[in-house]
Amino acid sequence: MNVVSEPIGLEIVAFNNGSYTGAILFTGFMYVGAAGALWMVRAWKIGEEEGRDKEVEGEGGSAVGKSSFGRRMVMWRKV
């Protein structure tokens, strides 16, 4: 990421006539986007663990026992 972040930031600053506001907003939105992506990966991994737990119990790992993706997004569980 370091290879492309500096040229992107410099282009944003040059486009805004030397103002760093655009680069600051871009950086902030990238952090928020990355956090959102990791949050969705966490919910996906919780679903995988629920599927594995069902296989151990002998239910064949069917998706019937899994909670919904939205519920896993707000679930308080260590992954």
pLDDT mean over 2-7: 85
Answer whether 0.85 is exceeded by the pTM: no
pLDDT tens-digit map of 7-60 = 999 999 999 999 999 999 999 999 999 999 999 999 999 888 888 777 666 655
CA atoms within 13 A on the CB side of 42: 16
Map out the domains of the chain as residue ranges: 2-74
pLDDT for res 64: 58
pLDDT tens-digit map of 61-78 = 455 567 888 888 888 877
Gap between the Cα atoms of 29 and 35, Å rounded: 10
Better-predicted residue by pLDDT, 79 or 42: 42
